[in-house]
Amino acid sequence: MISDFAADPVRDWAESGIVALTGRADGPPLVPPGRAATVAREHARWVAAATGGRVELDGARLLSERAAFTGHRRAGAVSAGGACRLLPTADGWAAVSCARPDDPLLLGALIGAEIEGDPWPAVTEWLAAHPGAELAERAEMLGIAAGPIAPVHSAPPVPTRPRDVAGLLVVDFGSLWAGPLCAHLLGLAGARVVKVETPSRPDGARRGDPDFYRLLHAGHESVVLDPSDDRQRRELAELVAAADIVIEASRPRALAGFGLDAEKEVAAGATWISITAHGRASYRVGFGDDIAASAGLVAFDADGPVFVGDAIADPLTGLTAAALAMSTPCDGPGMLWDVSMSAVVAATLDDATDPAPQPVRENGHWVVHAPSGTVPVAEPQRREPSGQAPESGRDTARVLTALGIRR
C-alpha cells in the first residue's frame, strides 16, 4: 500500500486547482469530500522514487491541469467541459453524459422517444420519473455513459516493488486523458512510447486543445494500422507482441476484435494496463465526469450535487496506472492490471461525516482554513509541452521496419 505522505487532505485539495473548478459558476468554490488530491500526490511521490527522481511532478496539480489549457471553469451541475449533467432521478441523482455524435440518438432510445435538438429537457423529465437502477440497466444495454450516484465499494490494485522502465517499449492504445497520461509519465521515465490508432478510431483528444494534446504526446511515435486489412492486422499483432507494456483504455472486447489476446501477451511476459470505466468484467461505458460522480465523488451545496473538478477520474486513473506500470509483476513474468476508474475514485472516499472547511473570501481572494493553516485556493496551472506531438501515422513505416515487423 502507498503510505500517507500528507496529513491534510483539505490543503491538498486547495493547492490542486480542483477547488477552483468545483461549485456553481455564480457561487463560491467548494472543497470536495475525500482525499483524491492527497492520493494523487502519494502516487506522484511513488513515481518520483521509482524513477530515481527523473519524474518529479505534483500529482495534485495534475488533476486540474487540462482546465489550465482549455479555460474550463466550474459550472455546478454541468461538467466543466459541458458534456455531462447531474440530474435528479425518482430516488436520487444521476450523472448523464452526451459527448459523442451518436449520444442524442442513444438518449432517445433510453427514454423511448425521438429527440430533436436539445436532448436535456426530455432526458430530465424521464429521469425524474424513473429510479437510478433503471437508468443504470438501460445505459449499460445501450452503451450510454450514465449512472446513478451510488458509491462503489471495490478497491483498485496498488503498486508493488518499483522497476526501471527506461528503454522499455510501450504500445499505447489509450485515448482522451487517462491512458495518454499514463503513457506520458512512462515516457518521462525513459520508456519508448508508440501510440497506436486505427483509421476509423483516431484519438478523440486530437480534436481538443492542441497544446494539451502536445503536452501528453510530445516525444512519442505514432502508428496507424487498419485491423480490417490482413497484413496490417498481422503487423498490429506483432507490434503488441514486441511490447514490454501495453496500455488499453477500452472494453476488452474492442482489442479482442482486432485479434489481440491480453492473457496470451501477459503469459509471454508483457505488462498489460487495462483501463476501463468500471472494470474488465463490466460492460458499462463512461467518461471522467460521469464515472467520478457515479462513484460518489460529488460536492453538495444547498441546491444539490455539483461536479468535482474537470473529468477528475481520468488524471487520477492515469497516475494510478503509471505507478502500476512501473511495478514489478507480482506473479510470473507478466502482469494484467485491471484498472477500474470507478474503483480508483471510490478508494479516495471515506465514511467521515465531518464536513470539510469551506473557502472564505479574504482580501479579495478565496482561502481555506485547513487543519494545517490558511491555504489560498489555487487556480489550475499548466506545464509547458516539451516538444511536438506526432501527426497521426507519421512513424508507421519507420517503427515497423525498425522492429523487424515490416520488411
Q: For residue 220, what pLDDT is reported?
A: 97
Average pLDDT, the chain: 93
Q: How many residues does the chain have?
A: 407
What stretches of 159-229 show up as alpha helix (H) in DSSP?
178-188, 210-217
For residue 406, the 8-state DSSP code is -
For 199-222, the pLDDT digits (tens) are 988 888 898 899 999 999 999 999
**Closest by alpha carbon to 43, among 309, 320, 278, 312?**
320
Q: For residue 155, what pLDDT is reported?
A: 83
Q: For residue 407, what pLDDT is reported?
A: 79
| Residue 352: pLDDT band with limits 50, 70, 90 | low
Residue matched to cell numbers 511513488? 46
**Residue 228 half-sphere exposure, CB side, CA atoms within 13 Å?**
4
* Residue-range domains of the chain with CATH: 9-71+154-282+308-352+381-402 (3.40.50.10540), 87-148 (no CATH)
For 306-325, the pLDDT digits (tens) are 999 999 999 999 999 999 99
Taking residue 107's Cβ as centre, other Cβ atoms within 10 Å add up to 23
**Closest by alpha carbon to 179, among 385, 272, 317?**
317
What is the identity of the amino acid at 242? A
Q: Which residues of 4-34 are buried (b: 16+ CB within 10 A; e: fewer)?
A: eebebbbbbbbbbbbbbbbbbeeebbbbbbb
Q: What is the mean pLDDT of residues 100-124?
A: 94
| Residue 7: pLDDT band with limits 50, 70, 90 | confident
For 152-188, the pLDDT digits (tens) are 777 888 988 999 999 999 999 998 899 999 999 999 9
Backbone angles phi, psi at 367, to 5 degrees: -135, 160
| Residue 86: pLDDT band with limits 50, 70, 90 | very high
For 132-153, the pLDDT digits (tens) are 999 999 999 999 999 999 887 7
Taking residue 1's Cβ as centre, other Cβ atoms within 10 Å add up to 7
Q: What is the mean pLDDT of residues 262-267?
A: 91
Q: Cβ neighbours of residue 151 under 8 Å, at least 6 residues apart?
A: 295, 296, 346, 349
Q: What is the mean pLDDT of residues 94-121?
A: 94
